[in-house]
Structure 1
Amino acid sequence: MEKELEFNVEGMTCGNCVAHVKKAVEEINGVEAALVSLEEKKVKVRTNGQVNPAQIREAIEEAGYDVV
């Protein structure tokens, strides 16, 4: 069962930041896609329904950004 999650992310300032966050999130087992918006400061994540939102939050924070 697919599930969409959305996170507000602070600290992204450029395209490299967007790519870094996207890569970190998409490496999580069960994440099907991540759409990262620098302008909106948001990350929208489509999962297979088996991913805990805390895993995504942790991956973003480990990449060096703040989930607010």
Structure 2
Amino acid sequence: MKKLGFLVEGMKCGACKGKIEKSLLAQENISKVDIDLNEKSVVLECSEETSTVEIKNSIEELGFTIPKSLRV
């Protein structure tokens, strides 16, 4: 397992958090998602073969913007 982290712009409320969490956890290669609305961050645990681009695309398809990845 590895951890990936992202700064996510546009997350403002619990509904936003739930939308992202539900979408990511529906992917079988992701086992855990931690979202911090105050920090506007998403940190997840996923399988080694999971690509950063794949995760970014999943979040951006929901209408959010990812300006950068985070070191976790």
| Same fold by TM-score greater than 0.5 | yes
Is residue 2:47 matched to residue 1:51? no
Unmatched 5+ residue regions in structure 1? none
How far apart, CA to CA, are the structure 2 residues paired with 1:29 and 1:59? Answer: 13
Runs of 4+ in 1 over 4 A off after TM superposition: none
> Number of aligned pairs?
67
Whichever residue aligns with residue 50 of structure 1, its letter is: E
Whichever residue aligns with residue 5 of structure 1, its letter is: L
How far apart, CA to CA, are the structure 1 residues paired with 2:24 and 2:66? Answer: 13
Q: Determine the structure 2 residue equivalent to 1:60.
A: 59
Q: Determine the structure 2 residue equivalent to 1:22.
A: 21
Contact 1:28–1:56 under 8 Å retained in 2:
no
Unmatched 5+ residue regions in structure 2? 68-72
Q: Scaled by the length of structure 1, what TM-score is found? A: 0.91
Q: Scaled by the length of structure 2, what TM-score is found? A: 0.87
The alignment's C-alpha RMSD in Å is: 0.9
Shift of the alpha carbon at 1:28?
Answer: 2.1
